[in-house]
Amino acid sequence: MEFYILIGGLALLFYIISLSRRVHHLEQIVKGEIAQQSTQVDYLSQTKIAEGLATSVSASPSQPEIGHDQTGPNAVDRFVEWAKDEWLLKLGALLLLIGFGWLTSYAFLNNWIGPMGRINLGLIAGALFIILGWWRIKNYINQGGVFLVLGSSTILLTIFAAREIYGFFNPLFALVVMFLSTAFVALASVKYNNRALALSSLILAGVAPLLTNSPNPDFVGLFFYLFVVVLGAIWIVVLTGRRELTTAALILVTFYSLPHLLFFSSAVDKGALLLFAYAFAVVFFFTNTMGILKLKDKNISPDLLTAAGNGIFLLSWILVAATEEWKSLIISAWAIVFIVGAFLIFKATRRKEPFYAYAGVGIAMIAAATSVELSGASLAIAFIIESAVISLVTFLVLKDIKIAERMNLLLICPVVLSFASIASSAWSTGVFHRDFFMLLILSFTLLGLGLMYKENVKEVEDPEPRQLNTILLTAGSIYAYILLWLSLHAGLQNDNQAVMISLVIYTVIGLITYFYGLTNEKKSLRLYGSLLIGFVTGRLFLVDVWEMELAGRIITFFLIGALLMSTAFLGKKKSVSSLTNNGQ
Q: 307-359, pLDDT tens digit by residue?
A: 889 999 999 999 988 888 888 899 999 999 998 888 888 888 777 778 888 88
pLDDT score at 551: 74
Summarised one tens digit per residue, pLDDT across range 356-413 is 888 888 888 988 888 888 888 888 899 999 999 999 988 888 888 888 888 898 999 9
Give the pLDDT band of residue 570 (cuts 50, 70, 90).
low
Rounded (10°) angle between helices 171-191 and 195-207: 170
Return the SS3 of 192: coil
CA 553 to CA 500: how far, in whole Å? 8
pLDDT score at 584: 44
Residue 38 has pLDDT above 70, yes or no: no
Neighbours of 43 (CB within 10 A): 10
**Among 165-174, 237-246, 375-384, 450-459, where is mean pLDDT lowest?**
165-174
CA 468 to CA 449: how far, in whole Å? 11
What whole-number percentage of the chain has pLDDT above 70? Answer: 75
pLDDT score at 65: 38
Mean of pLDDT values over 181-200: 88
Mean of pLDDT values over 526-535: 89
Alpha-carbon distance values, 224 to 70, 203, 218, 580 (Å): 42, 17, 10, 90
pLDDT score at 54: 38
- Bigger pLDDT: 535 vs 109: 535
Q: Which DSSP state fits 423?
A: T
- Bigger pLDDT: 544 vs 205: 205
Q: Against a cut of 0.85, is the pTM above it?
A: no
Give the pLDDT band of residue 69 (cuts 50, 70, 90).
very low
Alpha-carbon distance values, 13 to 132, 136, 213, 252, 560 (Å): 14, 15, 34, 35, 95
pLDDT score at 259: 87
Give the pLDDT band of residue 70 (cuts 50, 70, 90).
very low
pLDDT score at 156: 87
Alpha-carbon distance values, 261 to 258, 321, 338, 369 (Å): 5, 8, 22, 18
CA 49 to CA 47: how far, in whole Å? 5
What whole-number percentage of the chain has pLDDT above 90? Answer: 21
Residue 264 has pLDDT above 80, yes or no: no
Instruction: State the chain's mean pLDDT as an integer.
Output: 78
**Count of residues in the chain:** 584
CA 151 to CA 156: how far, in whole Å? 9
- Structural Rg of the chain based on CA atoms: 36
Give the pLDDT band of residue 559 (cuts 50, 70, 90).
confident
Closest CA to 284 of 325, 233, 241: 233
pLDDT score at 384: 92
- Bigger pLDDT: 67 vs 413: 413
Alpha-carbon distance values, 572 to 300, 568, 575 (Å): 63, 6, 5
Would you call 324 exposed, middle or buried from its count of C-beta atoms within 10 A (0-12, 13-18, 19+)? exposed
Residue 59 has pLDDT above 50, yes or no: no
Q: Which amino acid is at 53?
A: L
CA 493 to CA 498: how far, in whole Å? 8
Mean of pLDDT values over 508-537: 88
CA 30 to CA 127: how far, in whole Å? 36
CA 491 to CA 494: how far, in whole Å? 9
Closest CA to 133 of 192, 199, 209, 195: 192
Return the SS3 of 70: coil
pLDDT score at 569: 62
Residue 16 has pLDDT above 50, yes or no: no
Q: Which DSSP state fits 298?
A: S
CA 266 to CA 273: how far, in whole Å? 13
In sequence order, what DSSP letters do the residues of 90-112 get, joined into one string?
HHHHHHHHHHHHHHHHHHHHTTS
CA 374 to CA 377: how far, in whole Å? 9
pLDDT score at 84: 62
Neighbours of 462 (CB within 10 A): 11
Mean of pLDDT values over 417-427: 91
CA 472 to CA 489: how far, in whole Å? 26
Q: Which amino acid is at 574?
A: K
pLDDT score at 101: 63
Longest dimension (CA), the chain: 121
Q: 104, 121 in Cβ contact below 8 A?
A: yes
CA 45 to CA 59: how far, in whole Å? 11
- The answer to whether the Cα torsion of 398, 402, 408, 412 is positive or negative is negative
